[in-house]
Amino acid sequence: MLTDEELLRIFSESNDMLYFGELYKRYVPKTYGLCLKYLEEKEKAQDAVMDIFQKLTTTVQQYEVENFGTWLYSVAKNHCLQLIRKENQTKFVKIEDAFVENDELFTLTDKQKPEEELNALEYCMGTLPDEQRQSIRLFFYEEQSYADIVETTGYQLSKVKSYIQNGKRNLRICVLKVLQKG
């Protein structure tokens, strides 16, 4: 199977829409989901997916795109945000959603980090609120999915997500503090 970048290169060489269509199709699920998130209505989201495709077919060749996924993400998100602005809606985008934290911290479970970091992490896990600690433990150590965690704990799905998100942030802050002190 061709990679995104290969498809894009062939497209810009041949100018054959077929290739770009295939490339975009790979991202239809993601793009549609993204539009659903920001536009909150199925019809609007569907229109947006088609509009973005239309827009890209004329603009994509003006850019030198290194990573198509990242690029499409910013284009699609901007498209949706513009739509929201146009309709004069006030929508609150949670800041913590807008940037997703790197989960670098949890490569710790791969046991490649120095021991003091592991110790710091262990200590910080103890400082977390119960819900956060449990969600984090199940997700990163037991490798459960969100739905599994919901089943195990009885928390709501959205809660699980935010427990993990907040727990991660708290952990990071805590671990950095401990390491600096030590």
Partner 1 sequence: MSLKDYIQGKRHGRDAHKLEREAMNDPFLQDAIDGFDSVQGNHLPVIEQLEQRIGKKIAGRKPSARIWYIAAAASVALLIGISVLYKPHSDWVQPITQSSIDNSVMADSIGQQNKTDSVQQQPVTHVPPAVIAQARVPDSQPKVAEELNVAVADHIELPAAMSDKQYAVPESLSQQASSAITTVVPGLSLQSMEKPETTTISNTRLLAAENPQLKSNKIFGRVLDESGMPLIGVSVKYKNEYQSATTDLEGNFVLPAPKEKEEKIQFSYIGYQQKEVAVAADSTVVKLVPNDLALNEVVVIGYGVQKKSGLTGAVRKKDAAVGVGMKMKNEFGEKEFRKYFNDNRLRYLCDGNEATVRAMFEIDPSGKPINIRIIKCDCEELEAEFLRLISSSPLWTKTGEKVTLKIQLK
Residues in contact with partner 1 by the rule CB under 8 A: 1-2, 7, 10, 17-22, 24-25, 28-38, 40-42, 45-46, 49-50, 53-54, 69-70, 72-73, 77, 97, 99-103, 139, 143-148, 151, 157-158
Quote the least distance from Cβ 50 to partner 1, whole Å: 6
Quote the least distance from Cβ 158 to partner 1, whole Å: 8
Please say which residue, 6 or 116, places its beta carbon nearer to partner 1.
Answer: 6
Please say which residue, 119 or 166, places its beta carbon nearer to partner 1.
Answer: 166
Quote the least distance from Cβ 182 to partner 1, whole Å: 27
Quote the least distance from Cβ 33 to partner 1, whole Å: 3
Query: How many CB atoms are located within 10 Å of the residue 163 CB?
Result: 25
Reference 44, options 17, 84, 4; nearest CA is: 84
How many Å apart are CA 143 and CA 104, to the nearest integer? 16
Quote the least distance from Cβ 51 to partner 1, whole Å: 12
Please say which residue, 119 or 152, places its beta carbon nearer to partner 1.
Answer: 152
Please say which residue, 22 or 119, places its beta carbon nearer to partner 1.
Answer: 22
| Contact by Cβ (8 Å): 51, 83 | no
| Contact by Cβ (8 Å): 44, 36 | no
Please say which residue, 128 or 162, places its beta carbon nearer to partner 1.
Answer: 162
Reference 109, options 132, 143, 133; nearest CA is: 143
Quote the least distance from Cβ 86 to partner 1, whole Å: 19
Please say which residue, 134 or 144, places its beta carbon nearer to partner 1.
Answer: 144
